Structure 1
Amino acid sequence: MERVNQVPAGQPILNVSHFQKRYGDKIAVRDLSLVVEPGDIYGFIGHNGAGKTTLIRSIVGAQGIDGGSIQVAGIDVARDPVAAKRIMAYVPDNPDVYEFMTGIQYLRYLADIFRVPVDARSKRIGELSERLQISDALADPVGTYSHGMRQKLVIIGALMHNPKLLVLDEPFVGLDPVAAHELKQILHELSTRGSAVFFSSHVLEVVEKLCSKVAVIRAGELVTSGTTDEVRGDDSLEDIFLELVEPAGEGGR
């Protein structure tokens, strides 16, 4: 895949500033700030209900913001959501896909939305479907796919337009070992081309080995963030995570 458009020097790809989100009277995420730079593979970890998905859904424009701001390559996601969505992609934890479509129809549909040229889309679909071992199923209806196959399809769709920011929520759930390995390689390649990856995961070994930076959220508040080496120090990321989140109370989701 070709090199993505570059973000101006000094400008982060993702800038979350004093973000806050409420559900009724409950504050799910409070005053959270973090910065993701070009080339980062940024892990976002926390216990169930900590607020990971809440932040991710606001980053990708799936829900509103109650305080602070979120910018993608300088574009405010609340003020100009369409422009922001054009340069990012989202892989949710539950890959909902139109079941009446075949896999190839779904990918072509996404390519049309993002105005990907025919020659470029054909090349990407061919390469990625081979790597994720789903080529033989692209002619089948999505309704016949397993969870893992749908996950692979959604990942391919997210990469169709070479996003500057790829946001993933538990992307390795349901993937077989070969596909998980290929996805790690794909994320590295994306970061090398100047994009950034921001993902949540419960698989701390993957986060520790794959991510250049990591942030830990507990009960809706950011506990720590920085390079993976800085956050874990002389311990494993699992040890640090357990130490930080064990006393967690009520939080987001």
Structure 2
Amino acid sequence: MDGIMEKILEISNLDFSYKRKNVYENLNLSVNKGDVLGILGHNGAGKTTLFRLIGGILKPAGGSIKLFLNKGENIGFMPEGLGLYPRLSGKDNLELIFLRNNKNIDKNLIMQTLEEIKLKDSALTPIGEWSTGMKRRLSLIGALKSNTALCMLDEPFLGIDPVSQKIMLDYIKKIHSPEQTILVSCHDLNVIKQICNKIIIIKEGKIIKQTDSPDEISDIENIYFTLNKE
């Protein structure tokens, strides 16, 4: 029926501890298909841990994480460390990412995709010779364009120049569709409000703020610092 949002992720009563320290306790979160959800929090708040729990890399101590994916759909993950092979070219790295996610390899598609994010001229160069911004652009398209219905981007804009940041932001806005959900953690609040339709703020293992209000998203800097006063 029209107006009913289709859920893609539901986290219920999630508990997780690391070295006897509670990271999450009774965490609840529901994400709809097509959302671009911004996840905010200080270093150590558990944002990367949450991604690893959703991706099945870590197992919760309690509660449940349910993913509602159709047959053939995958989870894409852009880790903060990128997970690329420096001795391989950009083209070869992207082919490996596509193969890992069961996406058919089409050489024309590979080059077209690299061109879309302004990497075609360096496609055959080992990425060990690339700038940080170029590597992050490559990792981004690998996460977004390989049969992924749910993409998790962990600090995707970390350490990059303004040109690469703009290219990445424009690309996300251009290709995002109602069929793809994006979870993005980022410390740049100005960036988050440009691409997200929902935001959560995590502190001490709890969601202390959740909003899909356009007015609150545009004012997220004030909200974040008000909730995180020392």
TM-score for the superposition, normalised by structure 1: 0.80
Deviation at 1:66, TM superposition (A): 1.6
Structure number with higher relative contact order (C-alpha < 8 Å, ≥ 6 residues apart): 1
Equivalent pair of 1:142/1:150 in contact (CA under 8 Å): yes
Identify the residue that residue 167 of structure 2 maps to in structure 1: 182
Distance of 1:126 and 1:174 partners within structure 2:
26
Residue 236 (str. 1) matches residue 229 (str. 2): no
Q: Deviations over 1:181-207 (max 9, x none)?
A: 232233234442421111111111111
Deviation at 1:30, TM superposition (A): 1.6
Which of residues 82, 99, 102 in structure 2 aligns to 1:95? 82
Q: Deviations over 1:200-249 (max 9, x none)?
A: 111111112321100011111110112043645xx8211110111224xx
Distance of 2:27 and 2:98 partners within structure 1:
34
Identify the residue that residue 21 of structure 1 maps to in structure 2: 16
Deviation at 1:49, TM superposition (A): 1.4
For 1:59-208, list aligned pairs within 5 A.
59-73=54-68, 87-119=74-106, 122-123=108-109, 125-208=110-193
Q: What value does the CA root-mean-square deviation take over the aligned residues? A: 2.4
Residue 222 (str. 1) matches residue 207 (str. 2): yes
Residue 238 of structure 1 aligns with an amino acid whose one-letter code is: E
The size of the alignment, in residue pairs, is 227
Distance of 2:213 and 2:189 partners within structure 1:
11
Identify the residue that residue 79 of structure 1 maps to in structure 2: none
Relative to 1, partners in 2 of residues 1:38 and 1:91: Cα closer, same or farther, differing over 3 Å?
same
Residue 45 (str. 1) matches residue 40 (str. 2): yes
Deviation at 1:150, TM superposition (A): 1.7
Work out the percentage of aligned pairs sharing the same amino acid.
30
Equivalent pair of 1:214/1:228 in contact (CA under 8 Å): no
Distance of 2:144 and 2:5 partners within structure 1:
25
Identify the residue that residue 25 of structure 2 maps to in structure 1: 30
Equivalent pair of 2:89/2:126 in contact (CA under 8 Å): yes
Residue 91 of structure 2 aligns with an amino acid whose one-letter code is: I
| Structure 2 SS opposite 1:100 | coil
Equivalent pair of 2:103/2:147 in contact (CA under 8 Å): no
Q: Deviations over 1:126-155 (max 9, x none)?
A: 333223222122211222223222212211
Q: Deviations over 1:17-64 (max 9, x none)?
A: 222210121101221111111221110101111111111121122222
Unpaired segments of 5 or more residues in structure 2?
Answer: none
Relative to 1, partners in 2 of residues 1:230 and 1:51: Cα closer, same or farther, differing over 3 Å?
farther
Residue 14 of structure 1 aligns with an amino acid whose one-letter code is: L
TM-score for the superposition, normalised by structure 2: 0.87
Residue 199 of structure 2 aligns with an amino acid whose one-letter code is: V
